[in-house]
Each structure stands twice: as C-alpha cells, then as structure tokens.
Structure 1
C-alpha cells in the first residue's frame, strides 16, 4: 500500500519516526511529507533514510513531476501525525501553501489526522470548530490522549502512541471500525505438542489459522495484540507480537504472563488434554519381538478454566474455543453448551471438526455461546470473516 505520512511542526514529531518504522515493517511504501516547521524537530536525512524515498516540503519541488498533485493522487492512505493546531486550521480552510496541505486537498483516499498540542490549544473554540469542519468532510480526526505534554504541563493534547495511530489508520483502509484502539489483546493459536521422547510427541491437527486470523482482525481494528503461537507454520500477521511455544505448560506460562495487562484473552489454541508422565531422555527404540512400552498419561492443566478463576484484571473478557465432534452423548452444539457452562468463560466459540472440516482449511463455521450456553452469534465464511464476527461479539462485553 502507498502511504503518505504528513508531519507537522510539533515536539511530538519524534513519535512519527516510530510510526514510519511501524508502517514500513508492515510492508507499506511510505512517502514522508513534513512541513517546514517539522524539519526543525526531525531533519530531512532521518526521514529519507527510514522511508527510502526523497523528502519535499514545497509545492515548487519536482515541478516537472507535478509532485504537489501526484503525491495525493497516488496515495492509498494519508496519515498526519502530529497534526498541530496550525495544520488543522490550514486544512480546514482549504489552504495549499505547502506540499502537505496541497496533498490533503488532492487526496481522495482515507485521511487520518492525529492532533497533538497543548490542552488550551486543543480546547480553543477555533480548534474545536476546525476539527468539527474536517470531520464533517469525512476526514478522520483522532482525539489526543491525556498525559504529559511539553514541559511540566499535563492534560488532553498528547499524541496517541504510534501503534495506536497505525492500527487506526490501517483499519480505515480495510473498511473496519477502529473499535479496539487502545485495547490490549492476547490470542493463543496452534496445537501444543507434549513430548514422549526427543523425536515423538502427542499432538493434534490444529494449524493455528483461526487464531492467527483472530490476531489479524484485532490488529486491523486497532488493538495491541500478543499472539501466543504453538507450533504454527503459517506466517504471523504484521504488527503482532509473537511468543512461540511448544508444550501446553509453555503456552500456559506465556498466556498468564501476557494476560496481566490484557483487556481480552482469546484461547483459540488446541491444547492437548493429556501429556506423558515421563519424557524419555533418548529416542525410544523399536526392538524386534518386543511390544511397545506403554505410555502413562496425566491430564494437563485446563488453561481456560484457570484463566476464568484467576483473571489477573478486573473486567477482563475471556473467550474460549471448543472444537467438537458429535457422538452418542449429543451433537456438537450440545457438547458446546455443556462445556460453556462448565468452563465459565465470557464466550465460548464452538465449531465442528473432522476430516476437511475445521482444522487446516480456510473456511469455518462457528456458534458463539455465552457462559450460560445461550447462543450469542453464528458466523460462516473465511476464518478472517469468522474472526471479525467473534470480535463483534466481544465488543459489548468490554
């Protein structure tokens, strides 16, 4: 994706350097368009080195390329961070006295402005009116956060963190609401492996695709996401922090650590129900005429139930997954309802699994239940579409 990163002249311009790096690491081509004042805070060589593209501020630069028009025309997304009171005023007035404001006039792609200024400037009637004007025109203007400003001042006017700006901006392009901005999310994915010896293990068929798409969807909607990945071979979504684990005990430790600061924990990983009591130090050899050595098993810890009982944060939402097959004791949904009541998670996502169903395929069909076993939602489609449906069900609980 082709992104224009505008930078206005405020002390928060240093955060735009981190924003640039995040967007580049996410695989996007980024053209930085600073104002003249912005170069007083962060110099041209920094922007050019990190973006890999030339940096201009004036409408008369590269006149032969008509840069003051083409820059905005070719953009898939425009982000301005920080957007100062001056920049907001010039944008609201439709001015085009530098390359950045000219770009804003030309752009027909999504535009996100992230203001940063002193509290008095943010709350001044002129700024309030300018923001209202821009929003009515369809430009997305983030509210600044409250915190330490330049010098000893504190209050609303601080630039949001680069991760939050990037997530909100990318959500615009993907057509998703940025309804998880500022939220911290932990998702587990994949299947655990419980070692028998250095070669063999007890495992399952989970590829981790549904958990990965849950992490991707949360990131698209603005969340800061930690993905605890158990033996997945699929690539993790860009912008998501990954903690790789192998066994159920490792997954338990990683999830418990990450959950301390999480608003939502989604246990989508398929955790082995049993593990060997002992793990052989060397490969167990097959001996002619001698039968296999019995493997004594013990139950693993129920991580989901433990999270429900020992949630480290008040108001934390815990979501479980139940991969089920029907049998003589009931169908998939009946088993799911009993499990929802037994586990006590805020939501339980139930899906049928089997040959070419659930595991390793690109599509899924799920039913979301509450802790009483009542149906909350149903979703069918790609695993990314199902992931967004799950997050839609989580939102009312936050």
Structure 2
C-alpha cells in the first residue's frame, strides 16, 4: 500500500505543477507555456496518467490486490484505514476520467468498473457522487460505452435513483441520469436494458414531480417507446401514455410525444390496450386540440404521426373524425407546403373511408369544391414541382371517389 500511496502522491504533485514536466525552452520568462509546450504537456500528462493507471497496477489489479478499486474495497471494509485515503483515490479516478480517450480506455478495465459498481452501496454520498461523476465522464466518450455496458453499468446505476433523502441526492441523480442518457441514446438494446432494470418509474417520477431533472428524463422516456415490446408494455403499465398525451401541451416535446404515441399504437398487441387508452374522451380531446393549435413551424412534422395513428386504428380514426378532426383537416388544405397538402389529402382519404356518414362529411365540408380548387390551382411557378403533381393526382383520385359515393 505504501508503494502505491507514494506513486499517487508523486503524481498528485506532478499534476499540480505541470511546468516541471516541460523543458525550460518551452516556458516563457513570464512563466506562461507556449503552444508547443501546451501540446507537449497534454501528451506527457496523458502518458503519465496511462502509465500510473496501467504500469502501477491501479487499473490492472486482480481480486485481493491492494491497488485501485481493490485498494478502495479494502479501505471501505477496513475501519482502521482513514476515510481521506478512500476519498483521495476517488479524486484520482475522477481526475483521470476527465483526461483524453487513451486514459479513459485504461479506466474501462472490466475489473475496475466491476469493483466500482459493487461499491455503490458501501460508500458515503460524497465519495459516491465523485465515483458517479467519474462514470458519467467515461460515458461521454463513445469508445467507452461498450465497455460500460459489458460491465453492467446500467443495472448498477439505476438503483441510485431510488435515493430520496440527503444533501447530495440531486447531484447523484444528475450524474446517474446523464450517464444513462449517454449510454442509451440511439441504442435500443441499452434502452431495453434500462427498462428491464426499472428505469421507467423513476423517469415518470422526475417528470410528474416537475423535478429540475425533468429535461433529462423526458428524452429517455420518449425513447422507451422505440426500444422494445417489453419497454412499451412497461410504459403503458406505469402510465407513460398519459405522460405522452400531457406533453402534447408542451411545444418543445409535443412532436416527439406524438411520434411515441404512434409507435406504441403501431405495436399494440391483441389486447389493444394502447388503442383503449387513446379512445378515452380526454385523450381524443387532447389529440384534436393539439392538431388545432400546433404552431406553424411544427405542423408539417405532425402529419405523418397522425396518419400512422388513424390508419392503424379505424376506431380512433372514426372517433377523431366525428370530434372535430375532419373540419380541421379540410381547413388546412390551403397550406403553402405541397408535401403538407399531400399528407392532408391522405388523412382526409383515410377519414372518409371509415367515416360513419361519408355523404354528410362531403356536404358539410364542401369537400368536392376544395378538391377541385387543388386540381386547378397554380402556385407561382411551383405548379410543376413533384410535390404539386402528386397533390393534383391525389385530389383527382379522391374527387372521383366522392363522386361515386354521391351518385350512389
């Protein structure tokens, strides 16, 4: 132990006085370091850190050794060893976790990570916070993510979200959520692991309690709809669909929430529990209100999720149509964007095909005339664009279908 302690002390001294590592010619008379010196110092620091981490055995410690995490573990269990030594090692690991990718790769030794994770429930909150910060720092490096996953980072991080009391709880939660976000973004397998290990109730709690960490929890919760069948089932069981519906009133998250709802419905099972949830009066009202009040800059992006919803469920389709959606669709046919008009026509066609009173729909909304206007319109030289051609073709096809219905 004394040998390692000496090495740590020497490194600590070197890091505090980086100029000692540099040749004199790279240091100006004022004591500042030239650009060349800064580059060299960075390289030397990286080499020094890597050397200590690997050469001294800090990161290559085997079970029972007295170095690094093995030393930490022994300190935690040995009441005779002063607490400051545990904290000093934690400080050292935290320092290395802020270094470059080479140092971080040495830190992702499976033995070290495994022992750090095992210590989570054995150390005091101040030291736990530092270790969690260390893991969070590692998670910012894409090259470390696979190693963290193999070491079981997700299943060890999530239980720390159960902490509810203490001065450092918010900091602990912040480090954990940030690390989980880095691990889970654009990776469905890790998102599924997080769901399997119980993250969804914690995310729900942060969101419903208006926690300052809500903005960290929201993207994770919305991603869960895309992860797996199991994650979607847990979402539904814990009230995640209600969260998505409530987010329709949040301009920043409405589009993402609507897309998550569409994905959940698309993968609804034979029990149709998602469909039943979206058929509730309050849910239908929120969907119609959102369509009506959606800001113009987001409007074109919500049409595809709406189309997925009403083409997946004829019952939701009909219920939305008779509760005001049809009129809103027809009213937006003059939208400036050709692709938006095309998607609106697709929505109207889907509504028309399942409407309980199609002739009433046609007459009340003056639909034939609106379609004729689309067919005949010219838009300042854009009438020959690919999108506009498709709009005219779609409008013509739908107008013929309406004519057949009115004749019959």
- Using the size of structure 1 for normalisation, the TM-score is 0.25
Higher relative contact order (CA 8 A, sep 6+): 1
Greater share of strand: 1
Greater share of helix: 2
